[in-house]
A and B are shown apart, each in its own frame.
Chain A
Amino acid sequence: MKVVVCIKQVPDTKGGVKFNPDGTLDRGAMLTIMNPDDKAGLEAALRLKDQYGAEVTVITMGLPKAEEVLREAMAMGADKGILVTDRVLGGADTWATSQTLAGAIRNLEYDLIITGRQAIDGDTAQVGPQISEHLGIPVISYAQNIKVEGDSVIVERQYDDRYHVVKAKMPCLITALAELNEPRYMTPGGIFDAYQAEITTWGRANLVDVDDSNLGLKGSPTQIARASDKVRKGAGEKVALDPTEAVNYIVDKLKTKHVI
């Protein structure tokens, strides 16, 4: 069985973001990590490798620096790493990104494609379902549990107030939730091997069945009209009071505001 996992290198937004003087994001000044949902997707794939001997290929689209997450994935146990990088792919929205990744994946044999539900920089949750549409295969989003049974996958698909147990014939694409599992650590031997390992690098010429008009900034239907640092409502009053005074203070405010 062959599994392809799409991963993304993202800025670690937990540490806050840093801006250039012109208001754009200073990506160079921020730490990067493997996107958490993608890491859970990779862990799910590695468990299929442990159980069924699945071959796991990780693929990422990004700047040459994104090779780092491929090596991290290989140090965790992935077999192959593919970096899709090309200047003409820059500035892509989710349409152009999904076209690019689908074009790259058409070179590969696969039973299962796993992506994270969403990346913590864009938070769109669109690229996984869009790749599946371009490839003409079923998608099961928001997976909280994945099992393989013969030529099918059985997935617990999370909704707001329920989950569905869903069965799909492979090939199929699944988007993984970070809650799916606890990703393993890299092993020292794995790290050593991963830094020796060869990473395959693909550019525009390697993409199959994709028109130029669907790539990069020019191929993106959505365009940014304006971007800005979020303006937040200012702080109100802050008081340090002993418990009795604090209670009186809150009750007084609730009265003034006609809550009670």
Chain B
Amino acid sequence: MGLEEYKGVYVFAQQVDNEISGIAFELIGKGKDLAKDLNTDVTAVLIGSDVKGLADELAAYGADKVIVVDDPELKDYRTEPYTHALASVIQEYKPEIMLVGATAIGRDLGPRVSARIHTGLTADCTQLEIGDFPINPIPGKEQLHNQLLMTRPAFGGNTIATIACPNHRPQMATVRPGVMQKAPKTEGAKAEVIEFNPGFTPDNKYVEILEVVKAVSDTVDIMDAKILVSGGRGVGSAENFKMLQDLADVLGGTVSCSRAVVDSGWMPKDLQVGQTGKTVRPNVYFAIGISGAIQHVAGMEESDIIIAINKDDTAPIFDVADYGIVGDLNKIVPALTESLKAELAAK
């Protein structure tokens, strides 16, 4: 069949423990922009066990349709049954675009699905738009319209590339969490709900989950924080992070860190910002004792205000900071906390 028969923007609505992940709403938000340009609608694909009740929430964030694949085999994420579910939905409904979150689930599911249905997959996209391919006309080559142009960082964030998938459908992308904006929530919105079950027959590819071990963490997800007080190797020790925590507490913020801090065992991995950690865009990002390696900057440069404190005036973090202070963090941070306490008490 022709590529033009593939219609609609589909997003994988990731859920974990029957709770929809934030990335699902972000994908719907972006999907609506793309669907508007293509004059089509957005379908969320919800896969799990006993998940049908979550469809309304997807509708509230803007999904026009929800396809539900509900089966006991789909309780916890496993590559094979989820691949079978999503690949079957694609083969049955033929979307032109399929978006998946670039999470620890989506970065496993996306490649396996794209390999099964033979299409291209662009990883970890930070920008998606509809446009022409080639972008500028080339004599002797047909310029295709209404293509999904997928932009992503590569080489550790040193370059950006825009990728198209002109001759295969759907055009598939995984999208970095925290980059796209959710659409506003409309309570009471309804979507057309379609139940679909391709049948699940366990074979050698179905692995067995022996145990699910959840990280013990009562901290706020750093991707949701409005103010982040982030520390790097320059903080010096795990104990010194207390200083950052005090500052965060005064401002109602959250502590995060660079990769060096995780590698040193001072802070847990779920607080790491950067290429191999999380992408954050808070209102204020304090970079304290962080040199600003390109892999770190890639995860925080979209923050509204970046305030850097570092004793090395050549640190690359100053190249992206709105306000850079060359100085001793051990003196500045505690004094700043005290000063802010006084300011806020006076209000």
Interface of A is mostly: mixed
In the complex, what residues of A have CB within 8 A of residue B118's CB? 95, 221
Among B34-42, B57-65, B186-194, B318-326, the stretch in contact with A: B318-326
In the complex, what residues of B have CB within 8 A of residue A222's CB? 120-122, 163-165
- The chain B residue sitting closest to A138, CB to CB, is B205
In the complex, what residues of A have CB within 8 A of residue B159's CB? 17, 25, 227-230
**Given A17-B158, A243-B335, A250-B325, A140 and B207 contact (CB-CB distance below 8 Å):** yes
**Are A254 and B284 within 8 A (Cβ)?**
yes
**Are B121 and A126 within 8 A (Cβ)?**
yes
**Are B111 and A126 within 8 A (Cβ)?**
yes
Give the B interface residue count (CB, 8 A).
92
**Are B162 and A227 within 8 A (Cβ)?**
yes
Among A77-85, A161-169, A195-203, the stretch in contact with B: A161-169
- The chain A residue sitting closest to B160, CB to CB, is A230
A11 to B160, CA, bound (A): 16
In the complex, what residues of A have CB within 8 A of residue B1's CB? none
Q: Which of B133, B284, B323 has the most CB of A within 10 A?
A: B323
A221 to B204, CA, bound (A): 29
In the complex, what residues of A have CB within 8 A of residue B153's CB? 123, 230
**Are B284 and A161 within 8 A (Cβ)?**
no
Further pairs besides A164-B77, A221-B119: 12, Cβ < 8 Å: A130-B111, A141-B104, A142-B104, A164-B76, A221-B118, A224-B161, A226-B161, A236-B322, A238-B313, A238-B321, A240-B325, A241-B326
The contact sample of 29 A-B pairs, CB cut-off 8 A, is A13-B158, A121-B155, A124-B123, A125-B108, A125-B111, A126-B110, A126-B114, A128-B111, A129-B115, A133-B115, A140-B207, A141-B108, A142-B108, A162-B213, A163-B213, A164-B76, A164-B209, A168-B207, A222-B165, A233-B301, A234-B319, A236-B321, A236-B324, A238-B325, A240-B325, A247-B335, A253-B323, A259-B227, A259-B284
Instruction: Please report A residues at the B interface, Cβ cutoff 8 Å.
Output: 11, 13-14, 16-17, 25, 93-95, 98, 120-130, 132-134, 136-142, 154, 158-169, 220-230, 232-244, 246-251, 253-254, 257, 259-260
Instruction: Please report B residues at the A interface, Cβ cutoff 8 Å.
Output: 16, 76-80, 83, 103-105, 107-108, 110-112, 114-116, 118-124, 133-135, 149, 153-168, 204-215, 217, 227, 251, 270, 275, 283-284, 293-294, 297, 301, 305-307, 309, 313, 318-328, 331-332, 335-336, 339-340, 343-344
